[in-house]
A and B are shown apart, each in its own frame.
Chain A
Amino acid sequence: MPGVNAETVATSPEAVAQHLAASRYLADDSLATAIFLAIRLGKPLLLEGAPGVGKTEAAKAIAELLGRDLVRLQCYEGIDAAHALYEWNYQRQLLAIRHAGEHEIDIYDDRFLIARPLLQVLKAPEQRVLLVDEIDRSDHEFEALLLEFLSDFQISIPERGTIRAAAQPIVILTSNRTRELAEALRRRCVYHWIGYPDAEREAAIIMLRAGDVAQATARAVAAAVQTIRARPLAKPPGIAEAVEWANAATILEKGGSPWPEAFRRAIGVLIKDEEDLSYIAPELGRIVEEALA
């Protein structure tokens, strides 16, 4: 992927928004400003928000905008340095020791080093975009480990010394806020809270993302999804579900289902929880009809 100089793309928040739109990602003013600042200040970008608002998509769009490879580190409870930074291939080391016999062997050679995402990013000759996804799922210890990486973009391997980034990576962290992140981490980042988009923006996103959806359908879907999201559901639909719903309803309509019926029949791609379905079912007809009106 041919990369471009970040500063030539990020000349202003508006330019960032335009480039993101070209990568089929619609960012509002605040998000475009946060991305612009993160790129120009050389700081990590911390995106928080509910699941399904497009945090991970934003990272993918930024990588596309800059023409850089995206390296993704998915966090989970228990993730540690060996999963995020590097690991020695112990089995190969043991075999090498056995084969070496009386000869001397460097068991901390490159061929025994397994580079995990953070080391991959540092070792890459070109600038990479690093996505640290769902940082709130990891433990506090891992967050502290990440602080060191985010401050200096370097890691120390005791047997090898310190490895510095050849080109400072662009780092995006996402969090669903299932726990509060350390102040030290927030302080080091440019921060943005992504909320659900308003109906107009969501309709525009649906038009951009869905394959063959009419504008009126996109508007109706956006309006209906806004109403449904305000209900106390176990799994409120995200933007991707709204796009799928618009697509599915369009396919059904082309297959011969009239409009309100097509929406009702395709509801399974929007609401993926049986209890939510039975909760919303009595109201669904009215919600769809109001959205179509």
Chain B
Amino acid sequence: MSRDVNDPFSPFTGRRCPEGADEGQRHHGQKVAPPLTCLPASSPRKRGEESLPPAAAPFLGFARLLRRHAFAIAPEQVSCFMQAVTLLGPRSMADIREAALATLAPPPDRRGEFEAHFQSHFYGNTSAVVAGDADEETRIKDDGGTDDERIEAEHSQEGGELSSALEQLSTRDFQRGDDRLTAFRRKLSSALPARRSFRTVRTPSRGKLDLRRSLREIVSADGDVPSPLLRRRQTVPRKLLLLIDVSGSMKLHTANYLRLAHAAVQGADRAEIFTFGTRLTRITSALRIRDRDQALAHAAAQVDDWDGGTRMGPTLLAFLSVPRFSAFARGAAVVILSDALERGDHAELEIAMRRLSARAFRLSLATPLAGDPRFRPATAALRAILPDLDDLVDGSSLAGLTDFILSLARPAPAASTIWKRVS
């Protein structure tokens, strides 16, 4: 198939588009569409596609490629994509790309992956990296990098031998563990703290008069006044936000924490999971996959900073400064799973915890260090954030953690009162 690709054409008819469809000026220097012959070898024509003109094949092939990589593309989106390409000309590859972005609607957090597939399909550029990419907004706030000078200074400090601010990138695989989390998943939705919603439900007593339905009853009863119908505001479980520390000092616990996070996402109506070490990663979408092994493998691939250093303060501030992330924390039960061994200056951690505490319904820190009966919140960072914490609890075992999360709805004295008493 060879054609002058500067000619606007319709993928449906293979003919030129009507006059006027290509009006307007394009920027100079844009890449001109290459001949659309780069149909991937793995795209044999399916039944029913024989009637389609050859020019439509690359677009169908691209949609099929995306589907193979777990992008949810509906048939109507594919036809819409081809209509969009027809409408746009196309006069350059940029048009096809724009049409694909607008109609196939890849989620923003998979945009990089989408681009890589686009490159490999339409340009034959297979070297493009296909991987989960960090959120665009997070990348801006979270672009910390490492500072050699600061790390040198921090290494000379005592305490938290495994903790460092050095970023080490590595990945990890997860093995299936025990299934003790099933009960936790089942109970979670009803055990989370609740709040009153603006939605209303019918109630036999103690509610406001539901005039709309009462009137219907009156009309259907031919003017007789039956017993009035009442409604009251519904209660809904609060959001659960888990922030998991994946730094080197938490190495022994992260696998368990991620299993817990998967159960939480599966069990709660609205749960959000982030990991932090030297950078912040949202893994909620990965954990939505029902199969735990698959979900954890996806999550493991998304996180780049396994077992590295910790920049707890800056990453939590990065979390709070992305408006849609900080909206997750508003009115939520926030549980941070970390040893809170912040190296160096803890001023940023203090600010972050104060802001989190102001937004959250309940802010809890579960640290594996508290598994030791001799543990006291003695580090400067812990002492500084203690007044902002509602709970400071043991995070060393799954059993303890699941019990704690299931008890979040029950009132408890603030962490500072408990730990002042024991320290």
- State the A residues within 8 Å of B (CB): 11-15, 29-30, 33-34, 36-38, 40-41, 43, 46, 48, 50-51, 76-78, 80, 82, 87-88, 90-91, 93-94, 97, 107, 139, 141, 176-180, 183, 186-187, 189-193, 195, 229-236, 275, 279
Contact = CB atoms under 8 A, between A and B. Distances in A.
B198 A50 contact: no
B323 A12 contact: no
A186 B74 CA distance: 10
Contacts of A230: 140-141, 143
Contacts of A80: 199
B423 interface: no
Contacts of B326: 234
Please report whether the interface of chain A is mostly helix, strand, loop or mixed according to DSSP: mixed
A187 B317 contact: no
Contacts of B20: 11
Contact of B102 (A107, A192, A232): A192
Interface residues of B, number: 57
A226 to B, nearest CB: 10
Contacts of B389: none
B24 A11 contact: yes
B324 interface: yes
A279 B351 contact: yes
B321 A232 contact: yes
Given A11-B24, A14-B24, A15-B24, A235 B323 contact: yes
B328 A78 contact: no
Nearest to B26: A14
Nearest to B135: A177
A76 B198 CA distance: 9
B136 interface: yes
Given A43-B80, A187-B76, A176 B321 contact: no
A30 B101 contact: yes
Interface stretch (B81-89, B155-163, B257-265): B81-89
Nearest to A108: B219
26 contacts: A12-B24, A13-B24, A29-B27, A29-B94, A29-B98, A33-B99, A41-B87, A77-B197, A78-B198, A88-B212, A179-B270, A180-B107, A187-B72, A187-B74, A187-B76, A187-B105, A189-B105, A191-B103, A191-B105, A230-B140, A232-B314, A232-B317, A232-B318, A234-B326, A235-B323, A275-B354
Contact of B103 (A37, A48, A88): A37
